[in-house]
Amino acid sequence: MIHVGIIGALGYTGKELIHYLSRHPVVRIYKLWDNAVDKKGARIDSIFPEFKNIVNTKVEHFNKKDLDVVDVVFLALPHTVSMKIAPSILDKVSLLIDLSADYRFKSHKSYQKWYKADHLDKKNLKKAVYGLPEINRSEIKGAKLIANPGCYPTSMILGLYPLAKEGLLDNAQVIVDSKTGTSGAGRKAATGLIFSELNGNLRPYKINKHQHMPEVTAFFKDELNKSVDLSFVPQLIPINRGIISMIYTVFKNKKKKDLYGLYKKYYSKEPFIRISKKGEVTELKDVAFTNFCDLSYLDFINDNTFLIISCIDNLGKGAASQAVQNMNIALGFDEKEGLI
Amino acid sequence: MIHVGIIGALGYTGKELIHYLSRHPVVRIYKLWDNAVDKKGARIDSIFPEFKNIVNTKVEHFNKKDLDVVDVVFLALPHTVSMKIAPSILDKVSLLIDLSADYRFKSHKSYQKWYKADHLDKKNLKKAVYGLPEINRSEIKGAKLIANPGCYPTSMILGLYPLAKEGLLDNAQVIVDSKTGTSGAGRKAATGLIFSELNGNLRPYKINKHQHMPEVTAFFKDELNKSVDLSFVPQLIPINRGIISMIYTVFKNKKKKDLYGLYKKYYSKEPFIRISKKGEVTELKDVAFTNFCDLSYLDFINDNTFLIISCIDNLGKGAASQAVQNMNIALGFDEKEGLI
Amino acid sequence: MIHVGIIGALGYTGKELIHYLSRHPVVRIYKLWDNAVDKKGARIDSIFPEFKNIVNTKVEHFNKKDLDVVDVVFLALPHTVSMKIAPSILDKVSLLIDLSADYRFKSHKSYQKWYKADHLDKKNLKKAVYGLPEINRSEIKGAKLIANPGCYPTSMILGLYPLAKEGLLDNAQVIVDSKTGTSGAGRKAATGLIFSELNGNLRPYKINKHQHMPEVTAFFKDELNKSVDLSFVPQLIPINRGIISMIYTVFKNKKKKDLYGLYKKYYSKEPFIRISKKGEVTELKDVAFTNFCDLSYLDFINDNTFLIISCIDNLGKGAASQAVQNMNIALGFDEKEGLI
Amino acid sequence: MIHVGIIGALGYTGKELIHYLSRHPVVRIYKLWDNAVDKKGARIDSIFPEFKNIVNTKVEHFNKKDLDVVDVVFLALPHTVSMKIAPSILDKVSLLIDLSADYRFKSHKSYQKWYKADHLDKKNLKKAVYGLPEINRSEIKGAKLIANPGCYPTSMILGLYPLAKEGLLDNAQVIVDSKTGTSGAGRKAATGLIFSELNGNLRPYKINKHQHMPEVTAFFKDELNKSVDLSFVPQLIPINRGIISMIYTVFKNKKKKDLYGLYKKYYSKEPFIRISKKGEVTELKDVAFTNFCDLSYLDFINDNTFLIISCIDNLGKGAASQAVQNMNIALGFDEKEGLI
C-alpha cells in the first residue's frame, strides 16, 4: 500500500483527489492537511458528509514531521503557495504532484509575467515534468516532481498536439472558444459565483487574459519548439463540472486534406482519449466524473478552418484524476488503476 | 409624478424594486442610494447592465438633504439597519416602506429575541402597518410607515388566514414545508451559496429556528389574537426565485367538511391571489416575476389534515412588487398599477 | 384599440406573444387559435395558469370567419405551415406577421433547399419584408406582410451588419460559435430535450447544417449584395432562454484599425441595441425577458480577428418581442410601446 | 466471474446498472437486451458514448436462448411488462432481480388496484423477496427472485422502519413531503419533462395518488402486520438525481422521549445507512451517485411531531445500486463490492 497525503484537502481539487484516491486499490489516504481547519483538526467526513462511511481521515494543519509517514504528496494549493512548500517536501517523499501552476512553466520569466510573482524555486522548476501522460508518458515514469496541467490547457493541448507536432500550426491561427463549469472557479465565497448570478447565465471573462493561455503556448514552445498563434475566449456556464473547447484552427491556405486520420494515429491506443467518428460530436455530460478527454468533429467547417471539439471534466482529467493517472505512471502501476 | 428613492439599491430587493418602479406609469426613480458604491457614485446601469436604456439614475451614498426631492422612500436594507435611519426619514417624506424586518413585530421584545438586537425606534414600531394588502388594505390606505412582510411569511399568512380567522387553527397544528429559490439568501458572497454547492442540491436549514416563523405567529397574535402552533422547515432549492410552501394543517379531530369554499369567500375578489380548482395544483414557475400568490390543492389529504399549497415569487410578492402594491394603496393609485 | 389574433398560441413563441401583447397599452388580444386544443376550445389561463387574472381569451381552432374581427394576425406556426394559411389571411387583415421561416428568404429555391419543401406562396414571398427594425425600419413602416427573423439570425445579422455594410466582410471569414437556451428547441416532447439529458450538459448540433445559417447569408446577399463566408456552430446549453453568439471575423490581412466606432455610428440611437465599452463583455442574463440586443467586446483578439459578442433573448428579440416591435413600427405606434 | 444480462438496457435504470456492474470486480456484463434497438443490434457505447472505452457489449433484442450463457438477469422494464417475461427466465438463471413494481406486492389484488392490470404470475409473486437489504437481508441470501424496491418507498421505509417495528406508528399519522430529481420520471419523451418546463420550477404531482404510497403501506402490513396512516406529497424539482423525503410523524399524544437512539440501534452497523447527529441535517447532493441512504434530523419539531429526513439517489439506492447490493447478498459476495 502506498501512503498518500494531500495538502489543501478542502478545496474542490482536494476533495476530488480524495474521491479518486479512496477507491484506488493500492492507495491509503494517510494524511489530509488544510490550514482552514482549526488547530485541533476535524475528520474529513464531518466537513464533507459525502465521505461518511468511506474516508474518515482527520484534516490537520500541515506539519513537516508528518511527511515521514507518507510516500506521495499532492499539493492542491493556490498558485504561488505551492512553490513555497514544495522544496522542503521533495526531499522526504517519493513523489510530489503539484496541481497548482507553480511548476508548469519552464521559464520563470513567463511564470512571473502571468502570476505576478517571482518564482521562489527555480531549481526544481527546471526538473519538474509537465504531467500530460498522453504526451509525456516516458518522462512521467519515475519522475519525482510532476506539474499537473491546468484544466483548460489539458483540453487545448490534447486537441492541438497532433497538428502542432506535424507542423501544421506553423502558419495557422488558433481560436479557442471554451466553456467551463463553475467548479473551475473554485470553492470560494464570491458574489459573482453565487447561484443567483450564474443560473440562467453565460459569462465570458478574461478574454485573451486568462493565465491558461500562456500555459498552452509555453508548452508548445518548450516541448516542440513551436510558436502557436492562440486566442482564447473562456466562458462560465451554469453546470457544475466540465470544459468543452471549440478549437478553430484557421490555416493560411486552403487545406482540405484529411486530418482526421492524424488523430487516430496519435491517440487510438490511449485509454483516456476517445475519438468520435469524423464529423460527429459528443456532449459534455459524457465526460463528467471521468478521466476521459473526448475529441470530436475533427473536420473542416470551411475551406481552411478545422474544428476540434475537446471535452474533459475540469476536476477530473483537468485536475484530480489526471494527477492520479500521473501517480500511477510515475510509480509503475497500471495507468487505469482507480480511474475506470 | 411621484418621486421615489431607494436606500440599499444594490441588493436583490433593491434591484427588483428598480425593475418594478421603472415600469410604473406615475413614478420616477429619483434617487438611488447605497453605501457600497464609492464616494463619487456610479450609474445604476453601469453596475447592473440589464438596466441600460431603461434607468440611468446615479447610485450615491445616502445624504439626508436628498430627501427634500423625494416623496416616497423604500428601505431595502438589512435587518437592524433600517430602524437606525427610518425615524429621520419619516418626517421628510409622505411614505416610507421598509422591506427589512425592523417594523414587522408589534412587540419589541419579540423583535429582540429573534434579531438579537434592542429595538431602537419603539415609537414608530407601534405605528407601523404590516403591509399585507389582502388583509390590511384599509390600514395601508394613508399609512405613513409600512413594514413590508417577509417572503416566507407572505406565503404562509395568505395560506393560513382564512382558517385562522374562522378559528379553525385554535386546536390545530401547522407544519410548513417551504422551498425557496436562492435569491432569498441575498446577493452576498458566501461559500454555501455558490453555484457549485447548490446546483443539483436541496438543502434544509434553520429548521424551527428561522426568524420568519415568529413573524407569522406574531402576526396572528397581534391581528387576530390567535395562537398558532407552527413548525417550519425551510429548504433551499436550485432555482433563482420563488417560494412554494406546503402547509399541512393537522386538526385535532376529524374535520372533513369543505374548507375550499372559505378560500373562495376570502379571496375571490383579490387581484393578486389566484385560487386553483379544489385538488388541483399549480407549479412554482407560474408565479415567477409576478406579484401573484397562487393557492392550490386546498383539500384534505387524510381524515384530519388539510393541505394548502402557497406559491409566490420571493422577490416579487415576497418583497418588491408587494412593496409597490403597498405604495399604490397607500397613495390611492390603482392597486395593480405597474404590476400586471 | 387594435384587435390581434395569434395562430399557434400554445407553443413557446405564441405564449411569449401573449405575454408581451397583454401588457401593450393599445392592443387587445382578441383571438387565440391553436388546433392542439379540442374542438370546443379552452381558456388560455386554464392551459397556462401563469395567465390567470391577466388574459382569459379562449383558444379555439382557427376559423377564417374570425378574421373579420381582428386587425393584426401573428403566425406562430411551424415552418411550411405558415405559407399554406397566410395568403387567405392577408386579404382580411391590416397586418400579418409570420414568425416562421416561410417568408424570410427572397429566393424560393433557397427556401426549398433548406426546408425541403416547395414554396407554396411565391407571390407574397417577394412582397414580404424581413422584419429586422434596426436595418429595415423604413420598409417595415406600412408593411402588410412581415417575415419575423429567426433567433440565431437576429443575433448574427445585428452583430455583422456594420462590417458587411462597410464592405469589410468581402475578404473575411466569419465563424459563429452560438449557444442557445432550450426554449429555442420549442415546446415539444423529445427525449433529447428532457431535463435529465440537458441539465449539466452542453450539446453541439447541426454544425454548418442549421437552417439559420443560410438565412443570414441570404440576407446579406439580398440586402447588400454581399457574399459572406460563414461557418456556424450552434450549441444547446442548460438555460431556459437566451442566445449568445461569439462572432469571430477573420480578416485576410492585418487590420488593426478601430472598428468599435462603426458600431457606435450605426447603433447609438437604437432603443434596443446596447453597445458595451470597447473590450468589455456583457452576460447573457442581462437580456433575458427583454427585446434588447447587447453587442459587446467589439475589439480584435489578435492581429486580424475581430470579436463581436451578440446577446439576445431567443423568445424576445429573437421572436415575440421583435414581432411586437415590428407591429409597433408597421402601424405607426411608438416603437417601444409594450416593450420596456 | 458472474455473467449478467440486463433486459431494458436503454432506460435510465438500465444505464445505471451498466455503470455499477461495469466496475464490479467479479461481474461481466455479458448480455444487454432492449427492443428499442433495431434488429441487428448496436454497441452500448455507440448509443451511450459515455461508455466508450468502458463497456462495448452489443444491445440486442431479447432471445430466450441467450439465457444459457448468463447467471444473473436484471429486469429494467416498465411495470406490467416484467411479469410477462419473468417466469420463463426464472428456470434458466441463478438469480433474477426485477426493478419494476411487478413483484413488490404480496397481494395481487393490491397490485391490480394500483397498476390497473391483472397479475399474470401469481405463483412467483408469493415467492419473491422484497429486496431491501437493511430489513430483509436474511431472506435475500440465496433468494432466486428479488423484487427491487421503488425509489420513494426505499427512502420512506428506511426512514420509518424503526418507528413501525417498535409499534410507534400504531396511533400516529405520517405525512411525507418528497422531492425527486427528474431522472425518476424516466428517459422518455414528454412535454412536461423537457428542460424548459422544469428548470426554475417545482411541480407537485399525484398527491396521495402515487403508486409508491401503497407499496409502503403494503410493506408494513406484510412484514410487520402494521397499518400505517400515510399521506404522500411527491414533487419534481430541477435536479437530475436524488430523492429527499421529509417524513413528519404526528403522534396522537405528546411523546417527547428520545427516538434518536432507536435509529442508532437499528442502523449503526449498516454500511449504506448514515445517521447524522441529532438535529443536524444533510444535503441531497451528499448521496448523489451512491448507494447510501442518509437519515438526518431525527428529532421532534414540536411536542408530538417527529421529523425524519431521508435522502437517497433515486437511480442508486432507489434502483440500480440497491439491485447490485441485493445481488451481492443473494450470491454471497461482500455486500459492498462494486458499490463504494
Per-residue pLDDT of chain B (340 residues; tens, 9 = 90+): 999 999 999 999 999 999 999 999 999 999 999 999 999 999 999 999 999 999 999 999 999 999 999 999 999 999 999 999 999 999 999 999 999 999 999 999 999 999 999 999 999 999 999 999 999 999 999 999 999 999 999 999 999 999 999 999 999 999 999 999 999 999 999 999 999 999 999 999 999 999 999 999 999 999 999 999 999 999 999 999 999 999 999 998 776 688 999 999 999 999 999 999 999 999 999 999 999 999 999 999 999 999 999 999 999 999 999 999 999 999 999 999 999 8
Question: Could you say which DSSP state residue A16 is in?
Answer: H
- C52 contacts B292? CB cut-off 8 A: yes
* Amino acid occupying residue B205: Y
Using a CB-CB cut-off of 8 Å, the residues of chain D touching C180 are none
Which residue in the set B177, B202, B250 is minimally distant from D237, CB to CB?
B202
For residues A331 and A141, the answer to whether their CB atoms sit within 8 Å is no
Which residue in the set C189, C199, C200 is minimally distant from D190, CB to CB?
C189
Q: Which residue of D has its CA nearest to A290?
A: D50
- D205 contacts B229? CB cut-off 8 A: no
Which residue in the set B49, B276, B340 is minimally distant from C54, CB to CB?
B340
In tens, the pLDDT along C123-178 reads: 999 999 999 999 999 999 999 999 999 999 999 999 999 999 999 999 999 999 99
Q: Is C182 on the interface with D (CB under 8 A)?
A: yes
3-class secondary structure per residue, chain D: CEEEEEECCCCHHHHHHHHHHHCCCCEEEEEEECCCCCCCCEEHHHHCHHHCCCCCCEEECCCHHHHHHCCEEEECCCCCCHHHHHHHHHCCCCEEEECCCCCCCCCHHHHHHHHCCCCCCHHHHHHCEECCHHHHHHHHCCCCEEECCCHHHHHHHHHHHHHHHCCCCCCEEEEEEEEECHHHHCCCCCHHHEHHHHCCCCEECCCCCCCHHHHHHHHHHHHHCCCCEEEEEEEECCCCCCEEEEEEEEECCCCCCCCHHHHHHHHCCCCCEEECCCCCCCCHHHHCCCCCEEEEEEEEEECCEEEEEEEECCCCCCCHHHHHHHHHHHHCCCCCCCCC
| Chain A closest-CA separation from residue C247 CA (Å) | 11
- Residue D240 pLDDT greater than 70, yes or no: yes
For residues A200 and C313, the answer to whether their CB atoms sit within 8 Å is no
Count of alpha carbons within 13 Å of D11, Cβ hemisphere only? 22
- A23 contacts D49? CB cut-off 8 A: no
Alpha-carbon distance of C3 to C69, in angstroms, equals: 7
The whole-number pLDDT of residue B254 equals: 73
Cell for C266?
450605426
User: C: neighbours with 3+ CB pairs under 8 Å?
Assistant: A, B, D
State the pairing for strand pair A72-75/A129-130. Answer: unpaired
Mean pLDDT over D291-295 rounds to 98
Alpha-carbon distance of A315 to A177, in angstroms, equals: 19
Residue in A239, C314, C49 with CA at minimum distance from that of residue B284:
C49
- C286 contacts B49? CB cut-off 8 A: yes
Q: Which residue of A has its CA nearest to D285?
A: A50
Q: Please give the mean pLDDT across all residues of chain C.
A: 96
Q: Which residue of C has its CA nearest to B276?
A: C49
Q: Is A49 on the interface with B (CB under 8 A)?
A: no
In tens, the pLDDT along A269-310 reads: 999 999 999 999 999 999 999 999 999 999 999 999 999 999
Cell for A299?
473536420
In tens, the pLDDT along B119-132 reads: 999 999 999 999 99
Cell for D230?
400515510
Alpha-carbon distance of C131 to C322, in angstroms, equals: 8
Q: Which of B4, B29, B86, B151 is catalytic?
A: B151
Q: Which of D151, D228, D236, D327 is catalytic?
A: D151
Alpha-carbon distance of D164 to C200, in angstroms, equals: 39
Mean pLDDT over D154-182 rounds to 97
Dmax (CA) for chain D in angstroms is 65
In tens, the pLDDT along A174-201 reads: 999 999 999 999 999 999 999 999 999 9
The list of chain A residues with pLDDT below 50 reads: none
H-helix segments, chain B: 12-22, 44-47, 82-90, 108-115, 122-127, 133-140, 151-165, 195-198, 212-224, 260-267, 320-331
Please count the other Cβ atoms lying within 10 Å of the Cβ belonging to residue D7.
24
For residues A309 and A297, the answer to whether their CB atoms sit within 8 Å is yes
Those residues with Cβ within 8 angstroms of residue A216's Cβ, 6 or more apart along the chain or in another chain: A152, A153, A156, A157, A160, A228, A230, A232
Q: Is B239 on the interface with C (CB under 8 A)?
A: no
- A271 contacts D54? CB cut-off 8 A: no
Burial class (CB in 10 A: 0-12, 13-18, 19+), C128: buried
- Residue C256 pLDDT greater than 70, yes or no: no
Using a CB-CB cut-off of 8 Å, the residues of chain D touching A21 are none
pTM of the prediction? 0.97
Q: Is D48 on the interface with C (CB under 8 A)?
A: no
Determine the residue among A179, A233, A303, A310 to mutate to test chain C binding: the one whose Cβ has the most chain C Cβ atoms within 10 Å.
Answer: A233
What stretch of H or E contains C223?
Answer: helix C212-224
H-helix segments, chain A: 12-22, 44-47, 82-90, 108-115, 122-127, 133-140, 151-165, 195-198, 212-224, 260-267, 320-330
Decide: helix, strand or coil at residue A305.
strand
Residue in C270, C313, C324 with CA at minimum distance from that of residue C289:
C313
Q: Is B171 on the interface with D (CB under 8 A)?
A: no
CA angle B197–B201–B206, rounded 5-degree value? 85
Alpha-carbon distance of C231 to C173, in angstroms, equals: 8
Please count the other Cβ atoms lying within 10 Å of the Cβ belonging to residue B267.
18
Burial class (CB in 10 A: 0-12, 13-18, 19+), C210: middle
The whole-number pLDDT of residue D257 equals: 80
State the pairing for strand pair B243-251/B172-180. Answer: antiparallel
Q: Is B305 on the interface with C (CB under 8 A)?
A: no
Burial class (CB in 10 A: 0-12, 13-18, 19+), D53: middle
Those residues with Cβ within 8 angstroms of residue B91's Cβ, 6 or more apart along the chain or in another chain: none
Decide: helix, strand or coil at residue A51.
helix
| Chain D closest-CA separation from residue B143 CA (Å) | 36
Question: Where does the pLDDT of residue C21 fall: very low under 50, low under 70, confident under 90, or very high at 90 and above?
Answer: very high
Cβ pairs A/C, distance under 8 A: 119
Per-domain boundaries in chain D:
2-148+319-331, 152-312
Burial class (CB in 10 A: 0-12, 13-18, 19+), B316: buried
Q: Which residue of D has its CA nearest to B297?
A: D207
Cβ pairs A/D, distance under 8 A: 46
The whole-number pLDDT of residue A256 equals: 66
The whole-number pLDDT of residue A257 equals: 80
Using a CB-CB cut-off of 8 Å, the residues of chain C touching B294 are 49, 52
Q: Is A76 on the interface with C (CB under 8 A)?
A: no
| Chain B closest-CA separation from residue C128 CA (Å) | 30
Domain D152-312 bears CATH identifier 3.30.360.10: yes
Q: Which residue of D has its CA nearest to C193?
A: D194
Looking at the annotation, which residues of C are catalytic? Answer: 151
Alpha-carbon distance of C208 to C210, in angstroms, equals: 6
Dmax (CA) for chain C in angstroms is 65
Mean pLDDT over C255-283 rounds to 94
ipTM of the complex: 0.96
What stretch of H or E contains A234?
Answer: strand A229-236
Q: Dihedral through CA A21, CA A23, CA A28, CA A30, nearest 10?
A: 50
Cα distance between the two ends of chain B: 19
Question: Where does the pLDDT of residue C254 fall: very low under 50, low under 70, confident under 90, or very high at 90 and above?
Answer: confident
What number of helices (H) and strands (E) belong to chain C? 11, 15
CATH number belonging to domain A2-148+319-330: 3.40.50.720
Using a CB-CB cut-off of 8 Å, the residues of chain A touching C284 are 200-203
β-partners of residue B2 are B27
Q: Please give the mean pLDDT across all residues of chain D.
A: 96
Q: Which residue of B has its CA nearest to A194?
A: B194
Q: Quote helix, strand, coil % in chain C, to nearest 5.
A: 35, 25, 40
In tens, the pLDDT along D226-239 reads: 999 999 999 999 99
Q: Which of A21, A151, A156, A331 is catalytic?
A: A151
- C202 contacts A304? CB cut-off 8 A: no
Question: Could you say which DSSP state residue A113 is in?
Answer: H
Using a CB-CB cut-off of 8 Å, the residues of chain B touching A239 are 199
- Residue D256 pLDDT greater than 70, yes or no: no
Which residue in the set B50, B276, B283 is minimally distant from C286, CB to CB?
B50
The whole-number pLDDT of residue A258 equals: 86
For residues C66 and C33, the answer to whether their CB atoms sit within 8 Å is yes
Q: In terms of CATH, what superfamily is D2-148+319-331? A: NAD(P)-binding Rossmann-like Domain (3.40.50.720)
- D189 contacts C199? CB cut-off 8 A: no
Which residue in the set C50, C274, C283 is minimally distant from B52, CB to CB?
C274
Give contacts of B 86-145 with D, CB under 8 A. none
For the question of residue D293 being annotated catalytic, the response is no
Alpha-carbon distance of D19 to D195, in angstroms, equals: 24
Helix A320-330 and helix A12-22: axis angle, to 10°? 50
Cβ pairs B/C, distance under 8 A: 46
Alpha-carbon distance of A279 to A300, in angstroms, equals: 9
Mean pLDDT over C286-314 rounds to 97
Using a CB-CB cut-off of 8 Å, the residues of chain A touching D53 are 271-272, 274, 292, 340
Using a CB-CB cut-off of 8 Å, the residues of chain A touching B190 are 189, 194
For residues A324 and A132, the answer to whether their CB atoms sit within 8 Å is no
For residues A72 and A44, the answer to whether their CB atoms sit within 8 Å is no
For residues B282 and B296, the answer to whether their CB atoms sit within 8 Å is yes
The whole-number pLDDT of residue D225 equals: 97
- A202 contacts C244? CB cut-off 8 A: yes
* Amino acid occupying residue C137: R
Determine the residue among B15, B188, B194, B201 to mutate to test chain A binding: the one whose Cβ has the most chain A Cβ atoms within 10 Å.
Answer: B194
